[in-house]
A and B are shown apart, each in its own frame.
Chain A
């Protein structure tokens, strides 16, 4: 089942003198339970593409359709709500809310969706246990290591049962052991719970684990390889 489709998507930045085509005529489709990596050199348009897919940025032209909804048709507040219900985000620098505990960070997404307290608690515990942090639920981000924070971020991204999770360089700030643990967890969640993961990455370990690798260069898809 198709969860995401991009049709002739372009993103052009008009700086003062130069016109930059950061994403150039990209057309892609992602099925449920994919574990895909978008790779390419710096400046190839990986992060821009991920931002467009996540509804954080708007394309200059083309369509982005998620679960049958064209993102360009949504008003800004509807887009925020759409992101909340359909897309999970994992950022390179974790970006947890520093004043909330691990449990509260995960629960926050469900609170925004007004889930009943009992369901919130159950889901939070289930997710934090799944990422191996069942014993650190009440710790604030400042008391967790980088790898642990990123695992909380993964749990947060999965909290609202999104259609897919976008992870922008999730292992970039982690040591090799933490990166390996994180990748194992995400791969397991993908395999067991059929969660779609789309990464932008430079990390060969992520590429190695991905079952689909899309390579970008100068904003264009130059290869789309299924393994």
Chain B
């Protein structure tokens, strides 16, 4: 093997410029492929971290019929020992019970069908964290009137007027929306925050109040301290009704959800629906989102469910559309990479064609003096692999520090894009995915590509006629 390697290596440098150009094309293909893929996978990670961990959870235990028919009758008894057993499983980070159903909500003359999610207020902070979604600032007409009395630049006032009645969950959001300059921020921000501040409150354990989503609150014309009347169908067809004080207004990222959500405590909901001890799901977060952990986690949870009434489902079974969107996007990314590699393949193939045509005579001489064709084929394969591997290693080495840097220091988005992402409960950043299996895939693709290109010289060597080759 040593002489094959020696000849292959030296052959590479016979035409230094051509070797460098071919290796450079592999280098750039690998560099861009790895970098692009890293950003793509990083965005999926972010989406899963932010969305799945705050809404669906990686796993949910549900009544077997609940997924297809999510009604209050398809709920199950919350069992403390089961809860403790699931919490004790190795990959489980948190377990949060939910009871979800529908009712009519009304206040004054306004009525609307709403979704009710019942939670354990303290436990939920580790999951969807509704407290963080409480409306803390609102640009009301009164706030504008108050601000007009101060010397606020007209440009800022125009922005404030444009966003009349808009609610914000944090000072940072209002600051970003107004796009204040550094100098303006120091003088104006505290003034604006003071004028726009609204009271806010969260639920306590056993609280009989509710949190109302922002758009729903506007529709029902309710605010903190007001009450909403709920009326609907409880467990096994009983009539459910009650009056509930509003403790806080929450702003949900999705307008659809923001139009119809009411959150209350689990105990209050169980009383309201006459569903004592019942929950519709146990939402479970895991310490690792790999499909393998998901599979083993699901199997471990299912092993604890000793009846046929409940089952564990993964987030992609619960959110098939989101999962398919990620898969579809991932496939389109792979298609782009395939196109990139397809182009590079022809670059390599061009080099191979020239190499074969230049060295036909030399191949003939080697076989004439006694080199077996298998050995010659091995030498040519090693040469081609070295050509690809040089570009591959250089590409991976160049991409690694950049990927690591942007993984730990992701690009921070600003402006409307940042606000939209935050509205959807996602961090407004663009991180790269940590160096992982996609690296090995690029390596494998390059090796396969080179081996495919090598098939041509191997075929030519196989069919080589020494006399014809020696004639040149």
A interface, CB within 8 angstroms of B: 51, 54, 56-57, 77, 80-81, 83-85, 89, 91, 95, 97-100, 104, 108-109, 111-113, 156, 160
Contacts and interface: CB of A to CB of B under 8 A. Distances in A.
Interface in B333-371: 361-362, 365-371
A160 B371 CA distance: 13
Interface in B1-40: 3, 6-7, 10-11, 13-14
19 contacts: A54-B368, A56-B467, A57-B466, A77-B372, A77-B373, A80-B370, A80-B371, A80-B372, A83-B368, A83-B369, A84-B370, A89-B368, A91-B470, A99-B10, A99-B13, A100-B6, A100-B10, A112-B375, A160-B370
Counting chain B CB atoms within 10 Å of each CB, the highest count among A99, A108, A160 belongs to A99
Nearest to A84: B370
Given A56-B470, A99-B11, A108 B372 contact: no
Nearest to B466: A56
A213 B11 CA distance: 41
Contacts of B362: 95, 97-98
Counting chain A CB atoms within 10 Å of each CB, the highest count among B6, B13, B370, B373 belongs to B370
Contacts of A51: 467
B369 A89 contact: yes
A109 B13 CA distance: 23
Contact of A98 (B14, B368, B374, B467): B14
B363 to A, nearest CB: 11
A95 B373 CA distance: 18
B334 to A, nearest CB: 39
A111 B379 CA distance: 14
B366 A97 contact: yes
Contacts of A108: 3
Interface of B: 3, 6-7, 10-11, 13-14, 361-362, 365-375, 466-467, 470
A91 B368 CA distance: 11
Majority secondary structure of chain B interface residues (helix, strand, loop or mixed)? helix
B301 to A, nearest CB: 61
A112 to B, nearest CB: 6
A104 B3 CA distance: 10
Given A56-B470, A95-B365, A83 B7 contact: no
A32 B214 CA distance: 107
B369 A156 contact: yes
A110 B14 CA distance: 24
Contacts of B10: 99-100
A81 B367 CA distance: 10
B212 to A, nearest CB: 80
Contacts of B370: 80-81, 83-85, 109, 112-113, 160
Contacts of A57: 466-467
B466 to A, nearest CB: 5
B373 A80 contact: yes
A143 to B, nearest CB: 14
A109 B369 contact: yes
B472 to A, nearest CB: 9
A51 B256 CA distance: 86
Contacts of A111: 3
Nearest to A101: B10
A83 B374 CA distance: 16
A113 B369 CA distance: 11
A169 B372 CA distance: 26
Counting chain A CB atoms within 10 Å of each CB, the highest count among B361, B369, B371 belongs to B369
B368 A56 contact: yes
A97 B470 contact: no
A100 B7 contact: yes
A89 B365 CA distance: 9
A24 B191 CA distance: 112
Contacts of A104: 6
A82 to B, nearest CB: 8
Nearest to A94: B365
Contacts of A85: 370
Contacts of A99: 7, 10-11, 13-14
B62 to A, nearest CB: 67
Contacts of A56: 368, 466-467, 470
Contacts of B374: 77
B19 to A, nearest CB: 12
Given A56-B466, A56-B467, A97-B7, A80 B361 contact: no
A188 to B, nearest CB: 23
A108 B4 CA distance: 11
A104 B361 CA distance: 19
A99 B6 CA distance: 9
A15 B153 CA distance: 96
Nearest to B361: A95
Nearest to A156: B369
Contacts of A77: 372-374
B458 to A, nearest CB: 16
A55 to B, nearest CB: 9
A84 to B, nearest CB: 3
A113 to B, nearest CB: 8
Contacts of B6: 100, 104
Nearest to B472: A93
A140 to B, nearest CB: 9
Given A56-B467, A57-B467, A84-B370, 19 more contacts: A54-B368, A56-B470, A77-B373, A77-B374, A80-B367, A80-B371, A80-B373, A81-B370, A83-B368, A83-B370, A84-B371, A91-B470, A95-B361, A98-B14, A98-B362, A99-B13, A108-B3, A112-B375, A160-B370
A125 B10 CA distance: 23
Contacts of B371: 80, 84, 112
A53 B264 CA distance: 99
A57 B465 CA distance: 9
B11 A91 contact: no
